Structure 1
Amino acid sequence: MNPASSYVEETGFGFWFLQSHVWQHHVLRVAIADLKRLAGNQLPTAPVVLDAGCGQGKSFALLDQALQPSRLIGLDADPHSLDCSRAEAARLGLEVQLIASDCAAIQLADASVDLLFCHQTFHHLVEQEKALAEFWRVLKPGGLLLFAESTKYYIDTWVIRWLFRHPMQVQKSAEQYLAMLREQGFAFTEANVSYPYLWWSRASDFGLLERWGLRQPKPFGQRNETLVNVVARKPEHSSR
């Protein structure tokens, strides 16, 4: 498979942003903490963790601290990103297995992963259904998908279209992402889902008008959600 046909590469600005303090502190750190909260007591001890779309490896230290994996695997289709991940793992002194692979064709055995972390990766993928089927395949029965995504209401804003690059034809709402997970067979309840309303995800103005008191924030249920986090379980017994 040609990776270029199955995902859309980031812009130069995007590649720079993914190594910034804002990305690590305000995006990655917050998402991992929220996903850990949503998982509750479901998190296994010493899990095998796959970071699907690991990029430059800026998640490695946070995942190691939050999940204490026995084995950490980073997957990305971009060779330059994997070089950065390799350097980041070496800098941290962490042993990370790196795989050059697309999410739609993961080079791992069936039922080999306890936790699959997919953070802000899915909206880059063209073949989302195939990728989700691969997530299902590599997860062990009872394994967890830690899924954090921006929705079409964020991706389809002028500032994001200007600064970044995405396959617009596959972007989905929060409800559509959740429906997609359920259709694949994943199980979760409302307690396993959150809709973060973070400053950087507020469409068009990053929440500036709200902070300046020029606009009242819309309450939950009256706005188009720009972020969705969910911890979804692959059931122990499944017909799939």
Structure 2
Amino acid sequence: MTAPRAAETYVEETRFGVWFLRSHVWQHHVLRVAIDDLVRRVDGPLPEAPVLLDAGCGQGKSFGLLQRAFRPSRLIGLDADPHSLDCSRSEAQQAGLAVELLAGDCAGIPLPDTSVDILFCHQTFHHLVEQEKALAEFWRVLRPGGLLLFAESTRFYIDTWVIRWLFRHPMEVQRSADEYLAMLRQQGFCFGPSQVSFPYLWWSRSKDFGLLERWGLSRPKPVGQRDETLVNVAARKPLEPRA
């Protein structure tokens, strides 16, 4: 008997997607690269011994990377999929990490107000139907001055034939990089140009995984002249409330 989902709006992943999220490519070419980039984007020193929430932790492949990057005093993983949480539990045990696992949706995080120092949201938002509610929850659980480390694929990547064929997403909520940035600012998060990057990695090339460029048949377009497929942001919740 399949365990109940923690969110009614959860869109179940394909078998390929479930396999991919435990692969070497996912952990080392996607997660590790994103975490390294986000660390470089942070304005100022990292908090010491932070409470860190991985919102949409999937199968827990991020846990060891987050532990090394941030040395949290408390590491929490949240996911709406029971199978993913089982995998996360095994991943944490194998890595010898004390990770608190929560079954829940990002639109209703089961944590108190202002209880988190760093919220890591990696490749989760494009799976969420209730994105505005989720972002409001991120704001609620983060302490003033807390960090939101946000890494997303945009609709220019999600809405391609290969991704639609291999994975499953709620297509009606997909956004561009600019729309994600506007959404973060509207919620109240603060960040400047140096806290934002638009990675153009081989696996995120929307049509050919960069093969034509590697073969010398085309040249990569610079930022501002292409439809961005990825956006990374190291944003802060201000210390002072908005007027």
TM-score (norm 1): 0.97
What code does the residue aligned with 1:225 have? E
Q: For 1:39 and 1:77, how far apart are their aligned partners in 2?
A: 28
Task: Say whether the 8 Å CA contact 1:5–1:126 is kept in structure 2.
Answer: no
Residue 150 (1) aligns with residue 147 (2): no
The SS at the match of 2:42 is helix
What code does the residue aligned with 1:224 have? D
Q: Which residue of 2 aligns with 1:116?
A: 119
Residue 39 (1) aligns with residue 30 (2): no
The SS at the match of 1:231 is strand
Q: How does 1:134-213 map to 2 (within 5 A)?
A: 134-213=137-216
Q: Which residue of 1 aligns with 2:86?
A: 83
The SS at the match of 1:179 is helix
1:9 Cα deviation from its structure 2 partner? 2.0
Q: Which residue of 1 aligns with 2:239?
A: 236
The SS at the match of 1:69 is coil
Q: For 1:120 and 1:193, how far apart are their aligned partners in 2?
A: 16
The answer for unaligned runs of 5 or more in structure 1 is none
Q: How many positions carry a matched residue from both structures?
A: 240
The SS at the match of 1:23 is helix
Q: For 1:39 and 1:138, how far apart are their aligned partners in 2?
A: 19
The SS at the match of 1:5 is coil
1:5 Cα deviation from its structure 2 partner? 3.2
Q: Which residue of 2 aligns with 1:97?
A: 100
Identity of aligned residues (%): 75
Task: Say whether the 8 Å CA contact 2:7–2:105 is kept in structure 1.
Answer: no
Alpha carbon RMSD of aligned pairs, Å? Answer: 1.3
Task: Say whether the 8 Å CA contact 2:113–2:140 is kept in structure 1.
Answer: yes
Task: Say whether the 8 Å CA contact 2:151–2:232 is kept in structure 1.
Answer: yes
Task: Say whether the 8 Å CA contact 2:7–2:104 is kept in structure 1.
Answer: no
Task: Say whether the 8 Å CA contact 2:6–2:103 is kept in structure 1.
Answer: no
Q: For 2:45 and 2:204, how far apart are their aligned partners in 1?
A: 28
Stretches (4+) displaced over 3 A? 2-5
Task: Say whether the 8 Å CA contact 2:58–2:85 is kept in structure 1.
Answer: yes
TM-score (norm 2): 0.96
Q: For 2:143 and 2:63, how far apart are their aligned partners in 1?
A: 21
What code does the residue aligned with 1:221 have? G
The SS at the match of 1:15 is helix
- Change in 2 beyond 3 A, CA 1:235/1:40: closer
The answer for unaligned runs of 5 or more in structure 2 is none
Task: Say whether the 8 Å CA contact 1:76–1:82 is kept in structure 2.
Answer: yes
Q: For 1:94 and 1:3, how far apart are their aligned partners in 2?
A: 24
Q: For 1:227 and 1:116, how far apart are their aligned partners in 2?
A: 19
1:3 Cα deviation from its structure 2 partner? 4.3
1:239 Cα deviation from its structure 2 partner? 3.4
1:113 Cα deviation from its structure 2 partner? 0.1
Q: For 1:7 and 1:67, how far apart are their aligned partners in 2?
A: 29
Task: Answer with 121-130 or 218-227: which moved more.
Answer: 218-227
1:237 Cα deviation from its structure 2 partner? 1.1
- Change in 2 beyond 3 A, CA 1:143/1:173: same
Residue 130 (1) aligns with residue 133 (2): yes
Give the counterpart of 1:69 among 69, 72, 88: 72
- Change in 2 beyond 3 A, CA 1:99/1:69: same
1:156-179 Cα deviation digits (max 9, x unpaired): 000000000101110000000000
